Amino acid sequence: MKKYKKVSIEKEIVEEVYCNICGEKIAKNSHNHFEDFLHVEKVWGYDSKKDGKKDDFDVCQRCYEEWIKTFKISI
């Protein structure tokens, strides 16, 4: 038989997100969820010049639309 007790666990939650391109805060909708945005995480491989470095950034929808217009090959 197991007896249980309740414990409180502290955890980190994302409070704010900023677009790395324009610096603006990603807005939250009426349900307190962030409006959709692009999040990129990349751990560079050993053969790259960044060897194991982790990059991550966030891009708002407006900047994303402008960014993809600069692509030589459209998506």
User: Taking the complex as a whole, how short is the minimal distance between the CB of residue 16 and Zn ion, in angstroms?
Assistant: 14
Residues engaged in binding Zn ion (CB under 5 A)? 19, 21-22, 60, 63
- Minimum Å gap between C-beta 42 and Zn ion is 19
For CA atoms 61, 22, 55, 66, give the dihedral sign: positive
Instruction: Decide whether 17 or 21 has the Cβ nearer to Zn ion.
Output: 21
In the complex, the smallest distance separating the C-beta of residue 38 from Zn ion, rounded to whole angstroms, is: 10
Query: Measured between alpha carbons, how far is 58 from 40 in angstroms, rounded to an integer?
Result: 6
> What values do phi and psi take at 56, rounded to 5?
-150, 145
